[in-house]
Amino acid sequence: MRNGFPPTTAPAGRRTAGTTLLVLDADPPPRLGRLTGRARIVHTDEEGLPRLLPTADVLLVWDFTSHAVRRAWPGEGPRPRWVHTASAGVDHVLCPELAASDTVVTNARGVFDRPVAEYVAALVLAMAKDLPRTWDLQRERRWRHRETQRVAGTRAVVVGSGPIGRAVVATLKALGITTALVGRVPKTGIHGPADLDRLMARADWVVSAAPLTESTRGMFDARRFGTMQPSARFVNVGRGALVDEDALAEALAKRWIAGAALDVFRDEPLGPESPLWGLPGLIVSPHMSGDVVGWRDELGAQFVELYERWAAGRQLRNVVDKKRGYVPGH
């Protein structure tokens, strides 16, 4: 054990072609061809997972929409030594048994940072420039001049001080927006949770880019939306369950806030019956903020690189602190 973490290298004798790499996927990941002859690669769907999980040395959770690992994780007996999820969030794999085990969990830290930051900038600018209304008016063939908002000089608070939150801050700053970053623990340049209410009350933009943990679940609730300015807007690119969706709907309906954009939801995919689709002032997008052209390829290449480190007996990167529920530190 190092720094309180379980060993993050392959155990001796497992770094060979005899290693079983189990891949939970719907479509096969790119780039795994590079591991030909260096691992026995077995693909499975959710149904086959419980049976195959005890046979695997390594589990690649490629289908990051699946919660099957939580359900299938073996409490006792053989289990993978390493689980990698091709996502920034790890809440969909981190069941208590996995968290308590000495299995290493890694994530796709780094792949999504800049794309998500650009997506947040796109949403902020779209709302400031009233683009959704522009689309409605174009559809109705109506010429209606409106005044828009200048984003330079406005204030944003970004919740979540990981690489994504920091990239969001950098991009909003580049647009002249004054930013504050909030993390779990205050440190230089990062506010602690105690400052959040005060910062939200002054913000024009509140951006959620936090991991989903027991302390962040439902953190954006009626009380917090109530602290926001009526002119302010809320953006969630973190995890759906960070937000009390009913409270957000009420905050929009009652004009506590001026608008919101959600890219993530408590239940995904959002069904056609969800009232969120039709909520005035809400922009709904289907969990795609970080998914730029080439993202699957990057995720595949990232896993292959991690696998090669692991097989070579070197320290893994992107190792999740399973108690906190994310990759700590800078």
Which of the residues are catalytic?
239, 268, 287
Does 118 help bind a copy of itself (rule: CB under 8 A)?
A: yes
- Binder among 27, 76, 147, 214 for a copy of itself (CB under 8 A): 147
Question: Is 178 among the residues that bind a copy of itself (CB under 8 A)?
Answer: no
Binding status of residue 27 toward a copy of itself by CB under 8 A: no
Residues 227-256 that bind a copy of itself (CB under 8 A): none
- Cβ nearer to a copy of itself, comparing 190 with 283: 283
Identify which of residues 22 and 124 has a Cβ nearer to a copy of itself in the complex.
Answer: 124
Contact flag: residue 198 with a copy of itself (CB under 8 A): no
DSSP letter for each residue of 16-28:
STT-EEEEE-SSP
Q: Which residues contact 267 (CB under 8 A, 6 or more apart)?
A: 240
Long-range contacts of 319-324 (CB under 8 A, 24+ apart): 319/5, 319/8, 319/104, 319/105, 319/106, 320/90, 320/94, 320/105, 320/106, 320/107, 321/5, 322/94, 322/98, 322/99, 322/105, 323/99, 324/184, 324/213
Near a copy of itself by CB under 8 A: residue from 52, 99, 175, 190: 175
- Smallest distance, Å, CB 195 to a copy of itself? 27
- Residues in the interface with a copy of itself (CB under 8 A) total 50
Instruction: Write the single-letter amino acid at 264.
Output: V
Query: Distance of CA 262 to CAs 9, 117, 206, 214, 233, Å?
Result: 38, 14, 12, 21, 11
Q: Which is nearer to a copy of itself, 270 or 327 (CB)?
A: 270
What are the residues binding a copy of itself (CB under 8 A)?
A: 114-115, 118-119, 121-122, 125-126, 128-129, 131-132, 134-135, 137-138, 141-152, 171, 174-176, 268-270, 272, 274, 277-278, 283-288, 291-295
